[in-house]
Amino acid sequence: MPRRQDGRRYTWRRGTDPRPRTEPPTAPAPEPAAAAEPADSIVHAALYRDGVRVASPATLTDTYRQLREKPRTMAWIGLARPTEAELKSLAAEFDLHQLAVEDALEAHQRPKLERYGETLFVVLRAARYLDAPEEVDFGELHVFVGADFVITVRHGAAPDLSAVRRRMEESPDLLRLGPEAVLYAILDAVVDGYAPVVAGVQNDVDEIETEVFSGAPEVSRRIYELSREMVEFQRSTRPLVGMLHGLMAGFAKYGTDEELQRYLRDVADHVTHTSERVDGFRQALTDILTVNATLVTQQQNAEMRALAEAGFEQNEEIKKISSWAAILFAPTLVGTIYGMNFENMPELGWHFGYPFAIGLMGVVCVSLYMIFKRRDWL
């Protein structure tokens, strides 16, 4: 395996011949002004030697030139949603594989670890918890790792790689380990970013449990939305377990520093713990959704039973009203007939006509009352 000019072996080698470099003068000239190259997507670029920053180029062109001019240096280039031209420029300079470049440009990739020649291509899914809307926001990060360069392509707000860079610059002994140490720091930052998300989701699950038993009407929608986020969270964390184990399996083959091996094992432990927590959240949400469906069904059954009871009571009242209406209608009908005062009505001149009419009314009313009473309408 080839060695650096300082005698330490490269952990990951470039697949192409080393680029010709010349020793810098003892008093380096001032850095030229930034070129007119469009660099809106360049978040930060820096060159490091023995764990210390030696240059901060403003453009990709300056980065390439200074990397060639400064031996035993490592370039760390951070991009955010780069253009196709910028990625092609990086591919040409660092011999990046076309398939990896296409993935980095299009985004929407699953977390993975792939090797193209002597360059590692890593896709990570970062996450952050947004307190105001109480939801999880996911970002995507692509990392190219070579013998003397690290290129990060970020799609989304997470993770905060500026904090990673500050942390590494404050730990020159770790940064001195090279690109693999930067990759570890990025992995560690992504995994550490999961902890606030886990805490936020745990709080959401607790709130949902309370809302389920309080009968909140919108809880079903919230359960469904959080379940979808947990599916996305699972897709972000599960592949990391295999990826880190793959990196650990190559420790001996690629001569990874022992201290760095311990750091990566710690990250793997955190990923495993997070993945288990996410699996537990998803199962808990499934159980809560089942309980909520049961409670909703019970509530609907209670409402239907109450409606049925109300309808039965209303029907009984209608029966009573109808019965008394019929009873009262009978004397009204008799009285109406005999109240027409026609001359040819024989009962009008009959001595027993009035008692007969009153008796008829009484007989009809009593008969109707007995009939309705027998049928429990009264």
Structure-token pair, residue 352: 């027993």
In 3D space, the residue among 26, 48, 70 whose CA is nearest the CA of residue 174 turns out to be 48
Say what the pLDDT of residue 255 is: 65
Q: What is the pTM of this model?
A: 0.70
Distance separating alpha carbons of residues 225 and 227, to the nearest angstrom:
5
Which residues partner with 128 through β-bridges?
137
Could you tell me which residues are beta bridge partners of residue 75? 47, 149
Tell me the CA distances in angstroms from 210 to 26, 129, 174, 213, 219, one per residue in order: 69, 21, 46, 6, 10
Residue 26 CB neighbours (<10 A): 5
Instruction: Provide block-wise average pLDDT over 10 residues at a time, the chain (378 residues).
Output: 36 36 39 40 85 90 90 90 89 92 86 89 91 88 92 84 90 90 92 93 91 81 90 90 82 71 88 92 89 82 85 84 84 78 72 81 86 82
What is d(CA 327, CA 212) in angstroms, rounded to the nearest whole number?
53
Spell 64-90 as b/e; 16+ CB within 10 A means b. Answer: bebbebbbebbbbbbbbebeeebbebb
Output the pLDDT for position 109: 84
- Rounded CA separation 35/166 (Å): 26
